Amino acid sequence: MVTAAVKASERVAKYADMFSAMGTEPRLRIMQLLLTAHPDGLVVGDIQSELDIPNSTLSHHLDKLKNEDLVQVKREGTFLRYTANTEALREVLQFLYAECCTRSSAIKPRDIVQFCK
């Protein structure tokens, strides 16, 4: 039987891994670029030319983001098209929102709305 505490701990570990995956400048730049290109995403060559990251390094970063379910990839002929997984990002934001704005009221919800404008 899985307790609520175990489930909560597993969620925290999952979100920690997601934050860790975005925790480098190149990966955060990739996420920012893919969100800018949402919902169409970008092919690898466009990401590479936009961010000037060597192909082998870019492949490593994209794999890390994909492994944490932060990006989705679709083959189009000989190209790979990456898109930001907005559902996964929504989950992470909901987690933070619940902790900082609902449970502890550390930040007022209206401040977040104003911050995002």
pLDDT tens by residue, the chain, 117 residues: 668 888 888 988 999 999 999 999 999 999 999 999 999 999 999 999 999 999 999 999 999 999 999 999 999 999 999 999 999 999 998 888 776 666 666 666 666 655 555
Q: What is the pLDDT of residue 113?
A: 58
| Sheet with 71-76, edge to edge strand ranges | 42-43, 79-84, 71-76
Entry pTM: 0.83
Give the orientation angle of helix 55-67 with respect to helix 25-36, to 10 degrees: 80
Count how many residues are written for the chain.
Answer: 117
Q: What is the pLDDT of residue 95?
A: 85
The closest of 91, 92, 111 to 101, measured between CA atoms, is 111
Enumerate domains of the chain plus CATH numbers: 4-116 (1.10.10.10)
Look at the alpha carbons of 95, 96, 100, 101 in this order and tell me if their dihedral is positive or negative. Answer: negative
